[in-house]
Chain A
């Protein structure tokens, strides 16, 4: 089945450790996005990538890093520099504006808890 897969569903991290969240899509979408969701805050954009080997900072990129080495994959690393990493992280993809598509389709999310 086509779709976006995030893993793991739940993740626990000790303070001071980096952790990488996985996002894979088999929709042949050019664009991929990472959002952070906190209660009452809606969705805040962390990073996005419109094409392979290129990515841009979103509104809250500090303490995060990404890579886009393959079209299908857009992993997010939450570094120890992120002061408050406990949140629900959502990955999304879209066809890409160059191909006329703006609708974003979301994965099921990863809930990260710092212990």
Chain B
């Protein structure tokens, strides 16, 4: 099935640093979503994007829907220890009919205090 290319696969950063991760696709997406998953739990929705070029913030998190509709990025500013987890991008492909979300493989974030 279709997959998104998410990078980096993992990151180790110092507390207080900013973080950036992104997702790309070879095809157009109608919607981009970003989730965070903590160990042993289900993913939690952080940000949803619906329009090309849209830039949305949620506290220290900022995400953008790429103008080409084939990519999205997530930034985390001034990281803190509780930011640790796996971040997933997900997208709604531009296809006729109902299609489920496609997920990236995740970016594992570790924050060193």
Contacts and interface: CB of A to CB of B under 8 A. Distances in A.
A105 B1 CA distance: 21
Interface residues of A, number: 29
B104 A42 contact: yes
Of A40, A96, A98, most B-chain CB atoms within 10 Å: A40
Interface stretch (A62-70, A71-79, A106-114): A106-114
B100 A58 contact: yes
A18 interface: no
Interface string B42-86: 111100100000000000000000000000000000000000000
Contacts of A109: 40-42
Contact of B98 (A58, A59, A97): A97
Contacts of A108: 41-42
Contact of B92 (A102, A105, A106, A111): A102
A43 interface: yes
B21 interface: no
Interface string B95-110: 0001011011110000
Interface of B: 1, 3, 6, 30-31, 33, 35, 40-45, 48, 88, 90, 92, 98, 100-101, 103-106
